[in-house]
Amino acid sequence: MNKTLGVIACSMLTSSVYAKQVETPFTAMFTTGEVVSGVLSYDDAARMDQSDQYSAFFKDSSAGSYIEVQLGGETYRAQASDMQPLEIHVHTGMGDGRRDIIFNPNQSLISQAGVSIGGMDIIVSDADGARSQLQLPSAIDINPVTGPERFNPGNDWAELYFMNRSPDNIAEISEIGSSVSDTGKVSYQFEAVVEFAQQPPFIQNQIGKGTITWEKHLPKVNQYGETGVEYADYSPEITFTVGDYTYQVDPNLMDDKVTLGVHGTPEGLLQGVHMHYTYPLQGVDSQGMPAPELLDFSLDIFIPQPNQTTDLSVPSQLPVLTPDVDARIHTQAGALKLVSLENVSDFVTAEPKVFIEVFTDFPDTNLVVPAKGGKVVFARDVMFKQPPMPATPDETFTIRYGENITWPNGFVYNRTGSKKVDLFKAPVNAPLSFYVPKHWPAGKYEYNMYSYEVDTGAVATKTITFTKLK
């Protein structure tokens, strides 16, 4: 599956797509008014176990696949594994164009304290999803209707079915899409000395410099009891210079990731952080010729005498380098000891090469949404300030593009997530249409678009406002 943005031109809520792993938050409500929220994460390339003309059955044992819900102040989770895969049933046999998908964790959802709430199915019914046949969707794109009318022809709907809950065992999903902003990034600049050189490009006592950047909101892929968590960043950003060679993440890779681990003590103190990138970094020398291969880039920080608390969440900052902190970079070519580590997250000053233009003169465009809900339509185009002139057919211009909505109360609703796109191959220019649900509060909204240029860190933004009436 490709990580590029493609065209967004539908009146639907969209999930965040991370390579083959699709992470989709949701919000639902029981008839009693109790709210339950959570995240569904599945691999859209999961193995098909069996199928017939109208249905298919998949088993997903990916380490990044899980179902997690927040209910009654507690978090409950079912993690997919080889022994207990996430089961996914796809049905298109009703003859009305509808596609139903049932996600069954095949196990109970359990809290960290060991409390079980039993099994829970997620049912997603897409009114015109049958056109996608029996494939697993690369995003769950529906506008779910709630209440008695949700089963009417032409309506999308979704629900949570709790097997062990009685009598109120169904929660209707009102939103299924990303509910947190992932636009925030953390970026660190480092300098290190080669202390062990096994092969080129390293030479003993050589200085290496670079940056490593990750997003503040990442999917959890592994949990090690109460003292360790691993997250996955499927849009890694690493630069590294040593001697005459400069390395970076290959922008053409589609399934690469950085694994970010946070480790604590039983007492809740931060013991260490690691970031591991297993794919080759793409390197060139000062003449543009290929550099020696650099594999298994890993930043490892260990604190022998921890004194900082941690909740094992994605770190927004790294430990300060003190004499007792062991901080090193390990690669297949050798190891380096860090001598400086500086947070540069707020100091991106490069001039962007692109800008975002918005057009609101399309027919039927309405930036005032009635109280009952309605559609907002406009167009946007990510444009170069100067006409691009690629030096070679293989040259890329990679950005991370995303869109989010700031509500009247300041809450940020992440509409698309941020995704890699090569503007030389996949321009971002199309009409955009989305549906504002009835239950969204009245007031002034800001629809924010942003472009982050991967090579330089330059940022371009554009905001359009719309209003929902009382």
Residue 130's φ and ψ, nearest 5 degrees, are: -65, -20
- Beta-carbon contacts of 3 under 8 Å, excluding residues fewer than 6 positions away, are 17, 18, 19, 234, 235, 254, 419, 420
Instruction: Identify whether residues 328 and 446 lie together within a single domain.
Output: no
Torsion, CA 35, CA 123, CA 5, CA 216, rounded to 10: 40
Report pLDDT for 177. 65
Residue 404's φ and ψ, nearest 5 degrees, are: -145, 165
- Looking at the structure of the chain, the number of domains it has is 3
Report pLDDT for 456. 77
What is the token pair recorded at 411? 């809450």
Instruction: Identify whether residues 210 and 339 lie together within a single domain.
Output: yes
Q: In the chain, pLDDT over 90 holds for what percent of residues?
A: 36
Determine, yes or no, domain membership for 427. yes
- Beta-carbon contacts of 18 under 8 Å, excluding residues fewer than 6 positions away, are 3, 64, 219, 232, 234, 235, 257, 417
Q: Residue 118: which region, alpha, beta or left (left: phi > 0; alpha: psi -120 to 50)?
A: left
Please report which confidence band the pLDDT of residue 4 belongs to, taking 50, 70 and 90 as the band edges.
Answer: very low
Q: Which residue has the tokens 């009409």?
A: 431
Higher-scoring residue by pLDDT: 163, 20: 163
- Nearest to residue 200, comparing CAs of 328, 338, 334? 334
Determine, yes or no, domain membership for 3. no
Determine, yes or no, domain membership for 109. yes
Paired residues of 159 in beta bridges: 123, 172
Q: Which residue has the tokens 């207990």?
A: 84
Please report which confidence band the pLDDT of residue 272 belongs to, taking 50, 70 and 90 as the band edges.
Answer: very high
* Residues 160, 121 contacting (CB under 8 angstroms): yes
DSSP string, 162-180: ETT--S--EEEEEEES--S
Instruction: Identify whether residues 144 and 196 lie together within a single domain.
Output: no
Instruction: Identify whether residues 239 and 144 lie together within a single domain.
Output: no
Report pLDDT for 218. 73
Instruction: Identify whether residues 381 and 293 lie together within a single domain.
Output: no
* Residues 69, 34 contacting (CB under 8 angstroms): no
Model pLDDT for residues 68-111, shown as the tens digit of each residue: 998 988 889 999 998 999 999 999 876 678 889 999 999 999 99
Which of 320, 343, 366 terminates a domain? The answer is 343
Distance CA 56, CA 65 (A): 19
Distance CA 311, CA 269 (A): 8
Please report which confidence band the pLDDT of residue 181 belongs to, taking 50, 70 and 90 as the band edges.
Answer: very low
Higher-scoring residue by pLDDT: 411, 403: 403
- Residue 25's CB is within 10 A of a number of other CB atoms, namely 20
Report pLDDT for 262. 95
Instruction: Identify whether residues 262 and 285 lie together within a single domain.
Output: yes
* Residues 207, 242 contacting (CB under 8 angstroms): yes
Please report which confidence band the pLDDT of residue 179 belongs to, taking 50, 70 and 90 as the band edges.
Answer: very low
Instruction: Identify whether residues 329 and 268 lie together within a single domain.
Output: yes
Across the range 19-24, mean pLDDT stands at: 66
List strands edge to edge, sheet with 228-233: 220-224, 228-233, 258-264, 270-277, 297-302, 326-331, 334-343, 185-197, 207-215, 237-242, 245-248, 282-285
Instruction: Identify whether residues 193 and 323 lie together within a single domain.
Output: yes
Across the range 426-452, mean pLDDT stands at: 84
Which of 176, 210, 241 terminates a domain? The answer is 176
Instruction: Identify whether residues 165 and 37 lie together within a single domain.
Output: yes
Across the range 46-57, mean pLDDT stands at: 89
Report pLDDT for 169. 93
Residue 399: pLDDT over 90: no
Residue 178: pLDDT over 70: no
Report pLDDT for 303. 96
* Residues 301, 272 contacting (CB under 8 angstroms): yes
Determine, yes or no, domain membership for 303. yes
CA distances from 406 to 181, 196, 397, 418 (A): 10, 49, 28, 16
Residue 132's φ and ψ, nearest 5 degrees, are: -85, 0
List the end-to-end C-alpha distance of the chain, in Å, as a whole number. Answer: 42
Determine, yes or no, domain membership for 301. yes
Higher-scoring residue by pLDDT: 208, 152: 208
Model pLDDT for residues 112-156, shown as the tens digit of each residue: 889 999 999 999 998 877 766 787 887 787 778 888 888 888 888
Q: In the chain, pLDDT over 70 holds for what percent of residues?
A: 88
Which of 176, 201, 226 terminates a domain? The answer is 176
Distance CA 423, CA 403 (A): 16
Report pLDDT for 358. 87
Range of the domain at 206: 185-343
Report pLDDT for 58. 95
Model pLDDT for residues 441-464, shown as the tens digit of each residue: 899 998 888 888 877 778 888 888
Across the range 262-277, mean pLDDT stands at: 95
Determine, yes or no, domain membership for 315. yes
Determine, yes or no, domain membership for 4. no
- Beta-carbon contacts of 106 under 8 Å, excluding residues fewer than 6 positions away, are 78, 84, 85, 86, 87, 119
Which of 75-89, 242-256, 335-349, 415-429 has the least mean pLDDT?
415-429
147-184 residues labelled b (16+ CB within 10 A) or e (exposed):
eeebeeeebbbbbbebeebeeeeebbbbbbbbbbbbbe
Determine, yes or no, domain membership for 7. no
For CA atoms 364, 366, 369, 375, the dihedral sign is: positive
Q: Specify the CATH number for the domain of residue 372.
A: 2.60.40.3880
- Residue 91's CB is within 10 A of a number of other CB atoms, namely 18
- Round the average pLDDT of the chain to a whole number and report it: 83
Which of 186-195, 330-339, 391-400 has the least mean pLDDT?
391-400
Residue 319: pLDDT over 80: yes
Instruction: Identify whether residues 23 and 172 lie together within a single domain.
Output: yes
Model pLDDT for residues 330-389, shown as the tens digit of each residue: 999 999 999 999 988 765 457 889 999 888 765 545 688 888 888 888 888 999 988 777
Prior bond of 105 cis (ω within 30°): no
pTM above 0.75, yes or no: no
CA distances from 49 to 86, 89, 260 (A): 12, 10, 32
Instruction: Identify whether residues 288 and 143 lie together within a single domain.
Output: no
DSSP string, 287-353: TSPBPPPB--EEEEEE-SS--SB--SPPPSSPPP--TT-EEEEEETTEEEEEEEEEE-TT---PPPS
Instruction: Identify whether residues 234 and 301 lie together within a single domain.
Output: yes
Report pLDDT for 132. 64
